[in-house]
Amino acid sequence: MFNLPPATRSLLLVNVAVFALQYFGEGSLERYFALWPIGSAAVGAPSFEPWQLITYSFLHDTRTATHLLFNMLALVMFGGDVERVWGPRRFLTYYFTCVLSGGVAQLLVALLDNASGETIGASAGVFGLLLAFAMMYPRRTILLIFPPIPMPAWLFVTGYGVLELYLGVTGGQANVAHFAHLGGMLGGYLLIRLGRARRR
């Protein structure tokens, strides 16, 4: 952890600290800082507030540590390399753009589905980092944990994106915000393309 660049390390520490606060807070943080659908207050749930488009990314499911663990593992594995190329300021701008675009995508889907549940987790930002890593290092080999199959980064991220789209459209893993993940990747892709166009 001590070899991580500063922004990646800070995101890791803040997410872990917020998880600890959630664990002892008995749901109070989720009520105000999770991403709630627009109009959710009409059905008795907490209401949507603009700041939730960012704050939801620091909250995780306290019923199991795996939600936080996998997001932070991906942040460490991919975020560090991306930040070393971009520097902390550009890295954080990119990360929170992905968080924001993922939140907007999730709100739109919730409106269409008339959903009332909250969205939490750093996954939109993490999926954006996966995309950035694959665009920077497309041929770098990634070894999956399960199944343990090595593959180039471009193939891993493309396959993961297609899987998220399939699960989102078919309703597989209904408790996972697949379109927030895809929104994070889309926002990241557009920001990278915009940056390249400006440099040209």
Which has the closest alpha carbon to 192: 107, 142, 133, 152?
133
Fill in the DSSP letter of residue 43: G
Tokens of 55: 């704050």
Can you tell me the distance from the alpha carbon of 68 to that of 73, in angstroms, rounded to the nearest whole number? 8
Cβ atoms of 35 and 106 within 8 Å: the answer is yes
Instruction: Tell me what percent of the residues of the chain surpass a pLDDT of 70.
Output: 90
**138-179 pLDDT tens trace:** 999 887 766 688 889 999 899 888 888 888 777 666 678 889
Instruction: Report pLDDT for 43.
Output: 62
Domain boundaries, the chain: 6-199
Query: In whole angstroms, what is the distance from residue 113 CA to residue 82 CA?
Result: 35
Q: Dihedral through CA 115, CA 120, CA 122, CA 128, nearest 10?
A: 10
* Tens digit of each residue's pLDDT (9 = 90 or more) over 106-136: 999 988 887 778 999 999 999 999 999 999 9
Round the average pLDDT of the chain to a whole number and report it: 89
Assign domain 6-199 one CATH number from 1.20.1540.10, 3.20.20.140, 1.10.1740.10, 3.30.70.1450. 1.20.1540.10
Q: Are 45 and 36 in contact (CB under 8 A)?
A: yes
pTM recorded for the entire structure: 0.91
